[in-house]
A and B are shown apart, each in its own frame.
Chain A
């Protein structure tokens, strides 16, 4: 009661931590447990050795990045229909975190590909689609920041968020069909993913849940940062008006 402003800032009720703080704690603990599972509990792959462990990072990160762009798609639709800034905030945060995740997915994929497939990169459908995803959502962020006004940027971004997401399955199938007529000499042991033993599958599942929490926490953090940015913008605006 005495200081409502500081209460708003901490985002919590009285002495209770905010949802974001709780998320951060859960994510931190899970991340440590996940690391322990990946390096201590999961058995070493009989064929690939230790390098196979990158798989527990790569697969969850890739899945979460696809999920992130699905969130962008839904909230872009929501923003165009409802026009409430909340939808745009979710789309913006999810797209930024999604681009970070998809970058990590590409990098961990490259680390995996070199020892396993004996090449850094191959124009395989999943790789190519992930690369295109990266390009589309980088364009999403660019069009948002290069737009003449913030509200225009939100609309342009929502348009790219919708078009991009609709386009991704078409990209995937066109590359699959293209692939079927240009066979690659480097197709690696793809069956590896299916040949997971029980412990491996459990570690993978745990890792996926960990990264889902991590993603949610990052989105919450980014949305709060955006609120701060907007508040700062308003303060700057009033200061400038008072100054002149």
Chain B
């Protein structure tokens, strides 16, 4: 286990350190997240009575856009400086590289969401103090991070990579977005686990399935 865990932590620490020094990802994505709420507020005519109905949708649309934006950068730094080749020739399994990258994306996204959630709760007028909401956000973001990291590794190599990632990302993650919106609606409405119905298990199944498939296919994506 330490054979996988050690390298993962090294990769995560490398990316976190880079981010701590430059701070060009988390801060800009948070600003973007605020802009999305402003746009949706006017696009959907969010009046106080409708807030409860619209808030979960706006929340997840913003999180999904923010995820694509931050994941677009996941491999760019490695690509530009040749860091990915360095990682690939180092005696580390491909699974560890994938899981390290996915964990980094998960951490960055959770940081962004932790910064945005209280602001959204105020602006969209809902109560964010629910463990089930936290669990929904964690599971949904895990799905975003796992599939997004795989697609990001492909998109960074293609022409017009900024477009390629969302084109791949959104159709595949539609079930997570649907389930997360539904679970959030219920969690914000004060429901507990039973009240959330099938939606959390659905995200859980999605995450588990792609946590198995994505590391396997990732080894083909990065091979030379």
Contact = CB atoms under 8 A, between A and B. Distances in A.
Given A139-B171, A159-B217, A174 B160 contact: no
B175 A174 contact: yes
Interface residues of A, number: 30
Q: Which of A80, A143, A156, A158 has the most CB of B within 10 A?
A: A156
Given A148-B157, A174-B178, A155 B171 contact: no
A51 interface: no
Given A166-B213, A178-B182, A159 B154 contact: yes
Contacts of B167: 135, 138-139, 142
B172 A174 contact: no
A66 to B, nearest CB: 16
A143 B220 contact: no
A237 interface: no
Given A156-B221, A175-B178, A132 B154 contact: no
B206 interface: yes
Nearest to B154: A156
B157 A162 contact: no
Dominant SS at the A interface?
Answer: helix
Interface string A125-148: 000000010011011001100111
A232 B121 CA distance: 60
B179 interface: yes
B217 A163 contact: yes
Contacts of A80: 217, 220
Contact of A142 (B150, B164, B214, B221): B164
Nearest to A79: B220
A177 B175 CA distance: 10
Given A148-B157, A148-B158, A155-B221, A170 B164 contact: no
A147 B174 contact: no
Dominant SS at the B interface?
Answer: helix
Given A156-B221, A162-B217, A136 B157 contact: no
A163 B221 contact: no
B205 interface: yes
A171 interface: yes
Nearest to B206: A170
B60 to A, nearest CB: 13
A36 interface: no
Contacts of B147: 163
A69 to B, nearest CB: 13
A80 B221 CA distance: 10
A104 to B, nearest CB: 19
A193 B12 CA distance: 54
B158 A143 contact: yes
Contacts of B18: none
Contact of B157 (A132, A147, A171, A177): A147
Interface string A27-69: 0000000000000000000000000000000000000000000
Interface in B134-171: 147, 150, 154-155, 157-160, 164, 167-168, 170-171
B30 to A, nearest CB: 28
B198 interface: yes
B202 interface: yes
B172 A164 contact: yes
Contacts of A93: none
Contacts of B223: 155
Nearest to B210: A163
Given A139-B168, A163-B172, A167-B171, 10 more contacts: A146-B160, A147-B158, A159-B220, A159-B221, A164-B171, A166-B209, A170-B205, A171-B171, A171-B174, A175-B178
7 contacts: A138-B167, A148-B157, A155-B220, A158-B220, A159-B221, A171-B171, A173-B202
Closest 9 A/B residue pairs (Cβ): A174-B175, A146-B158, A135-B171, A170-B175, A146-B159, A159-B217, A174-B178, A136-B171, A139-B167
Interface of A: 80, 132, 135-136, 138-139, 142-143, 146-148, 152, 155-156, 158-160, 162-164, 166-167, 170-171, 173-175, 177-178, 181
